[in-house]
Amino acid sequence: MQLKTRAVTVALLSSLALAGCASSDEATDSTDAAACAPSDGAVSLTFTSWIPGIEDTVAVWNENNPDIQVTVQTGPNGNGGTYQNFFNQLKAGNAPDLGQIEYDALPNFRVQDGLTDLGACENVMAAQDQFVDWTWNQVSFGEEGSAYAVPQDSGPTALFYRSDLFEENGIAVPTTWAEFADAAEKVRAAGGYITNFSQSDINQFASFVWQADGSWFQNDGENWTVDLTSDASITVADYWQDLIDRDLVSTYPAWTSEWDNAYNSGEVWAWNSAVWGANSIASGAPDTAGNWSVAQSPQWVAGDTAAGNWGGSSTAVFSSSEHPYEAAEFALWLNTSDEALTMLNESANIYPATTAGLELPVLKEGVEFYGDQAIYDVFAAASAEVNPDFTWGPTMTQTYNDVSDGFKAAVSGTGTLAEALEAGQASTIEALKAQSIPVNE
């Protein structure tokens, strides 16, 4: 036993030391690899993704590309442990060649030098105009000639609403947020809630801020600016705070049984959510089939067409990959070919990030649950209206946690949403400094 303990200590120390060396080697490697040239001979790649059923899609690629074989690895979703695993693997030098990374986590991998800049890969750069503008901005961080991942899917937002209830009660479907607040009073008088403000989903709140032309972070290539308390952000916070204070919205935690039940029983009438929310409602509120419709999100300024975004991920090539060219080819096929996009949409409701993908036949059909409305047309229109300049910070997990604590307090009546954002602003700046990430104050 004693021997073992010692051996472990020694092995631990040396592995850390070696990991340190390894990562500095990789840094030089990745500059060499920036040439993005094809490798000699057959190549095998590993790809970690948590999209259920993605193996079937990758199998199609493997069949057609005997020289570039891809093995799928899996795990829980990103924040459920896979991101942490990526960081561990990068440290240990055995990261996969490719990984699924959501847009809000990309900056974190970037500041840790975990990503290969695919800017030298001609095919990737040539594909830039196939993607919806704002999704490309998410992976290029606004830099000309760079791409730190290939966009995969997107989550443009629109308003899901119970057309039957709005009609029966003679309430007009709101087209502005001011109308939304008025409608909220009428819905409350009719015994329901117009929507649910989720206390735990900071991402949903971010989509509201995104729609209001706000952004939480900026990066000038060197320094980060934290802007959780920008005017747009505070305007949105005050708006929802007012609805919460007047008991015009319910506040169930999202994705729970109570939450499902609130929609299923007709207690809550509308949800401003992302395209993938269509599936959440259909499976969580089966009794309401046929009664839902989708419209453009309410606007801050009447006549505008702004949309927010909630979610979306990319396929990144890790900096330790020895075959960036082949990895990039695979990532491009996975996220631009009709074949792959159709399969991913069928198996996991992936909503493509390419403009051509938004026109897939499967996304043009009427959806039975929504009274045969062709709901994806609404989202395709919204996708084109998403503000391209929204930027995520490099410590989003911590920011989400801190703001979420404040939101829970606000919902239970102590503090306000705006105060939660102020607290999140301060702790995010602290966190950036603690990691030696340059930040403007």
Partner 1 sequence: MFSRTGAMLVMGISAVYFLIPIWWLLVASTKDQSQFTNTNPLWFADFSLFQNIADLVAYRDGVFLRWMMNSVLYAGGGALIATLLAAGCGYALAKYRFPGRDLLFNIVLGGVLVPATALALPLFLIFSQISATNTFWSVFLPSLVSPFGVYLTRIYAAASVPDELLEAARLDGSGEVRTFFTVSVRLMFPALVTVFLFQFVAIWNNFFLPLIMLRDETLFPVTLGLYAWNSQVNQIPELRGYVLIGALLSIIPLIITFLFLQRFWRNGLGAGSVK
Query: Rule CB under 8 A: which residues touch partner 1?
Result: 1-2, 4-5, 8, 11-12, 14-16, 18-19, 46, 48, 50-53, 73-77, 80-81, 85, 88-89, 91-94, 96, 255, 257, 260-261, 264-265, 276, 279-280, 282-287, 348-349
Identify whether the C-beta of residue 232 lies closer than 8 Å to the C-beta of residue 213: yes
Nearer to partner 1, 9 or 414 (CB): 9
Nearer to partner 1, 5 or 28 (CB): 5
Residue 129 C-beta: closest distance to partner 1, Å: 28
Nearer to partner 1, 46 or 425 (CB): 46
Nearer to partner 1, 51 or 234 (CB): 51
Structure tokens at 252: 């169930």
Residue 273 C-beta: closest distance to partner 1, Å: 11
Residue 306 C-beta: closest distance to partner 1, Å: 24
Which helix H or strand E contains 272, and what residues bound it? strand 270-274
Which helix H or strand E contains 260, and what residues bound it? helix 257-264
Question: In whole angstroms, what is the distance from residue 294 CA to residue 292 CA?
Answer: 7
The total of other beta-carbon atoms located within 10 Å of residue 226's CB is: 23
| Crossing angle of helices 417-434 and 396-411, rounded to 10° | 160
Identify whether the C-beta of residue 230 lies closer than 8 Å to the C-beta of residue 405: no
131 beta partners:
354
Hey, what long-range contacts does 9-17 have (CB within 8 A, 24 or more apart)? 15/92
Nearer to partner 1, 14 or 305 (CB): 14
Cα–Cα nearest to 251, from 424, 407, 421: 407
Nearer to partner 1, 34 or 348 (CB): 348
Nearer to partner 1, 138 or 273 (CB): 273
Nearer to partner 1, 133 or 255 (CB): 255
Residue 54 C-beta: closest distance to partner 1, Å: 11
Residue 334 C-beta: closest distance to partner 1, Å: 16
Residue 237 C-beta: closest distance to partner 1, Å: 24
Burial of 304 (0-12, 13-18, 19+ CB in 10 A): middle
Residue 2 C-beta: closest distance to partner 1, Å: 5
99 beta partners:
48, 316
Per-residue buried b or exposed e for 49-71, using 16+ beta carbons within 10 Å of the residue's own CB: bbbeebbebbeebbeebeebbbe
User: What SS3 class is residue 76?
Assistant: coil
The total of other beta-carbon atoms located within 10 Å of residue 101's CB is: 28
Residue 191 C-beta: closest distance to partner 1, Å: 18
Question: In whole angstroms, what is the distance from residue 417 CA to residue 400 CA?
Answer: 13
Q: At 95, which amino acid appears?
A: A
Residue 94 C-beta: closest distance to partner 1, Å: 5
Question: In whole angstroms, what is the distance from residue 144 CA to residue 119 CA?
Answer: 9
Nearer to partner 1, 252 or 300 (CB): 252
Which helix H or strand E contains 292, and what residues bound it? strand 292-295
